Amino acid sequence: MNLILPFLGIAGVSAIFVPLAVHIAMIPWRRSEGMHWTERARLLWPARKSIFAASLAGAALAVIGGSRIFGWEVPIVFVPAAVMLGSLALYPSVREVEPRYRFLVWLRELIWAFALKGAPALFALYLMGTMPEEMEATDGWIFLTLFLTSAFLVSGIWMPLVSSRCEGGHRLAEMQQRLDRIAAEASTVGGVVPRHVWLADTPLANAFALPLNRSVIFTTRAMEILDDEECRAVMLHEYSHLREPFLMGLLRVVSSVSYLVIVFVRPVLHAWGATGLMGLVFGYLLFQRFAGKMMRRMEHQADSMATGPEGDSPVYARALEKLHEANQLPAVMPGNRMVHPHLYDRMLAAGLTPDYPRPAAPSGWSPVSLICLGIAFAAIVGLFWI
């Protein structure tokens, strides 16, 4: 009972503060109605990125305010969990951006995201705070269990256990048949036969491959907005990922869970001090840079397969543009270290010059994000100095 009130208090503050901050951050996007989709997507991006900063500020205010006023003592693992509960209040903003979302569909995706990524991250935070300065064999086994479980979840090799094809009297049976036909046609061209081809029922327009179990997933929204030729071109892109070496698949998985090294912060500090901690951080960043470089190379290779031997496929370029427009993703992203190249560059490489000038990249941090980060910093400093 002593933990229930702080947990609900943090969730309540987050449910008020975070949606309010995001609502304010979305004002430029709201005012852009009628503009070209690339400009709208550019203005929406900082608002989407503000969710993290707003969540951090809301949690800091709740924890520090509660500890000063009510004497709360909250385990660190409870804070992100409470913030995630409070994030349910973001649903109106989600609907404003994508009206096709229904609450249960969005909630299902939120739960999956928490199960696959949020829960392991929370446990890693817990271990970071409780790991002894001198690790024993038991601590190593606990970390290994967390690492292997997280890797298993990220890999997607469990998908056949929970996924089923839309056949028989299923409302999406006709769409599944269309996807199967397109997959078979792409196999004839690309020489790749996937083990599974699934439909994911979601308003997000996307397609992705699971190389470790040779599977491809298309969302229903992607099938709705793409014609057969465009779907086939995207399918060929995903088939290229299925042809990647097994070690590349492992690299993708390890890169996704490499943040788990935070568990070793206390032992490393105890053994080697600040130098050891800097080495841990540097090693993590170096590995991420190497993995990112390899994954970008695979994306260029996959685009080449989708555009064909001539390297000229306006069909594939149009498909990419439709997916970005449907999801309101910028045509040019901040920086040049993303796994996927900029949409504008991919379209040019595929042989199609967009009928609009190259858009500016969105800003990395919105004013709302900077204010929220300032609030979080001030609240954390206040915890130690007041």
Q: What is the pLDDT of residues 345-360, one digit of tens each?
A: 999 998 889 999 999 9
Residues 155 and 253: beta-carbon distance below 8 Å: yes
Helix (H) or strand (E) holding 26: none
**Distance in angstroms (rounded) separating the CA atoms of residues 100 and 103:** 10
The answer to the question of residue 120 being in a domain is no
Mean pLDDT of the chain: 90
Torsion angle, alpha carbons of 215, 344, 37, 373, to 10: 80
- For residue 210, give the nearest of 220, 201, 222, 218 by alpha carbon: 218
Residues forming beta bridges with residue 219, ordered by sequence position: 200
- The mean-pLDDT minimum among 62-66, 135-139, 237-241 falls in 62-66
User: pLDDT at position 232, please?
Assistant: 95
Whichever domain contains 150, its CATH number is: 3.30.2010.10
Residue 309 pLDDT class (50, 70, 90 cuts): low
How many residues are listed for the chain in this entry? Answer: 386
The answer to the question of residue 176 being in a domain is yes
Greater confidence (231 vs 63) lies with: 231
**Distance in angstroms (rounded) separating the CA atoms of residues 332 and 326:** 15
Cα angle, residue 321 at apex, residues 307 and 184 outer, rounded to 5°:
45
CA atoms within 13 Å, Cβ hemisphere of 60: 19
What amino acid is encoded at 328 in this protein?
Q
Residue 6 has pLDDT above 90, yes or no: no
User: pLDDT at position 310, please?
Assistant: 61
Torsion angle, alpha carbons of 16, 17, 23, 26, to 10: -160
Domain around 273: 133-327
Chain center to CA of 76: 23
User: pLDDT at position 377, please?
Assistant: 82
Give the mean pLDDT of 207-222. 95
- The mean-pLDDT minimum among 15-19, 37-41, 164-168 falls in 164-168
Residue 13 has pLDDT above 90, yes or no: no
The answer to the question of residue 52 being in a domain is no
Contacts of 245 (CB under 8 A, 6+ apart): none
pTM for this entry: 0.90
Residue 316 has pLDDT above 70, yes or no: yes
User: pLDDT at position 20, please?
Assistant: 94
User: pLDDT at position 77, please?
Assistant: 67
User: pLDDT at position 1, please?
Assistant: 47
Give the mean pLDDT of 56-80. 75
Residue 43 has pLDDT above 60, yes or no: yes
SS3 268: helix
The answer to the question of residue 62 being in a domain is no
The answer to the question of residue 383 being in a domain is no
The answer to the question of residue 64 being in a domain is no
The answer to the question of residue 372 being in a domain is no
Helices (H) and strands (E) in the chain, counts: 17, 3
The number of folded domains in the chain is 1
Residues 47 and 366: beta-carbon distance below 8 Å: yes
Enter the tokens of residue 235.
Answer: 């399918």
Residue 9 has pLDDT above 90, yes or no: no
Using the structure block, give the residue that is written with the tokens 């903003």: 93
Pairing of strands 215-219, 207-210: antiparallel
Residue 385 pLDDT class (50, 70, 90 cuts): low
Give the mean pLDDT of 181-203. 94
CB-neighbour burial class of residue 137 (10 A; exposed 0-12, middle 13-18, buried 19+)? exposed
Residues forming beta bridges with residue 209, ordered by sequence position: 216
In percent, the amount of the chain with pLDDT more than 70 equals 95
The answer to the question of residue 336 being in a domain is no
* DSSP code at position 116: I
